[in-house]
Amino acid sequence: MNVKFLNPFIEAAFEVLKAEAGITAERGNLGLEQNEYKTDDITVILALVGTVEGTVYFGMSNDTAMLLVSKMIGENITSFNSLAQSGIAELGNVITGRASVKLSVAGYEATISPPTLLLGKDATISTLDFARIVVPVLFDGTGINIHLALREGKIHGQTTAQMAIPSKPDIKK
């Protein structure tokens, strides 16, 4: 995975957590995983398509999800009900949306899918040939793990790097 795809997600997560939940977060130690992803209690899944393509997973415990939603709506949530589910899915959507704007500014356009919420621990998701960078985002004694399985996409059969190199004109004498 191209490391220039990493910082937009870290910055977006910090900004969104601060704006939406009043949380100041810090980054934990990065990890690299090449095996299947085993889901946490709650996993938000979004796909990116364009000059950046792949999948982003936001994994967290039930308690972390309820803490986040409680802070976002300003009332105590004690069960992961439909309101909490909607809030967590939207949180992943907003972080990914903000990161895609940052990627666009850097020259990497991507469209994001609507979020999918997977409930239940230890489901296996294969990212096939995509290695994942795992970014722990820590706050209030807990945190979320952002799994980034991203790579440079292709537009019209060319990578964005190939598109930046002008081809030689076919000059006939």
Tens digit of pLDDT at every position of the chain (173 positions): 677 899 999 999 999 999 999 999 999 999 999 999 999 999 999 999 999 999 999 999 999 999 999 999 999 999 999 999 999 999 999 999 999 999 999 999 999 999 999 999 999 998 887 889 999 999 999 999 999 999 998 764 444 444 443 344 444 44
Query: Using the 8-state DSSP alphabet, how is residue 135 labeled?
Result: E
Spell out the domains of the chain, with CATH numbers in brackets. 3-155 (3.40.1550.10)
Do residues 25 and 143 lie in contact, with contact meaning Cβ atoms separated by under 8 Å? yes
Residue 63, SS3?
Answer: helix
**Whole-structure pTM value:** 0.87
